[in-house]
Amino acid sequence: FAGVALAVLGQPIKHSISPAMHQAALAEMAAHDARFSHWRYFRFEVAPADLAEALARLHAAGFLGLNLTVPHKVLAVELVKDVAPHAQPIGAVNTLLRTNDGWRGDNTDGHGLALGLRADLGLDLEGAPVILLGAGGAARGAAVECLRRRCASLAIVNRTPARLQALLESLAPLAGPTQVRGFAPDQLPRDLPAGAIVINATSAGLRAADPLPLDLALLPRPAGVYDMIYNPPRTPLLQLAARLGLPHANGLSMLVHQGARSLALWSGTEVPVTAMSRAALAALAP
Under the binding rule (CB under 6 A), the answer on residue 135 touching ligand NDP is: yes
Under the binding rule (CB under 6 A), the answer on residue 203 touching ligand NDP is: yes
Find the length of the chain: 286
Under the binding rule (CB under 6 A), the answer on residue 136 touching ligand NDP is: yes
Helix (H, G, I), strand (E, B) or coil at 104: strand
**If residue 210 lies in a helix (H) or strand (E), which one and from where to where?**
none
Within 8 A by CB and 6+ apart from 15, the residues are 231
Helix (H, G, I), strand (E, B) or coil at 180: strand
Under the binding rule (CB under 6 A), the answer on residue 277 touching ligand NDP is: no
Annotated catalytic residues are 73
Of 86, 148, 163, 278, the residue at the interface with ligand NDP (CB under 6 A) is 163
Within 8 A by CB and 6+ apart from 214, the residues are 131, 133, 157, 185, 198, 200, 237
Nearer CB in complex with ligand NDP: 56/206: 206
d(CA 190, CA 151): 20
Of 10, 89, 129, 137, the residue at the interface with ligand NDP (CB under 6 A) is 137
Least distance CB 131 / ligand NDP (angstroms): 14
Under the binding rule (CB under 6 A), the answer on residue 267 touching ligand NDP is: no
Under the binding rule (CB under 6 A), the answer on residue 226 touching ligand NDP is: no
Q: Is the peptide bond prior to 233 cis by the omega test (within 30 degrees of 0)?
A: no
Of 139, 154, 196, 199, the residue at the interface with ligand NDP (CB under 6 A) is 139
Of 198, 228, 237, 249, the residue at the interface with ligand NDP (CB under 6 A) is 228
Work out the number of other CB atoms within 10 angstroms of the CB of residue 281: 16
Point out which residues bind ligand NDP (CB under 6 A): 109, 112, 134-139, 158-160, 163, 201-204, 206, 210-211, 213, 228-230, 251, 254-255, 258
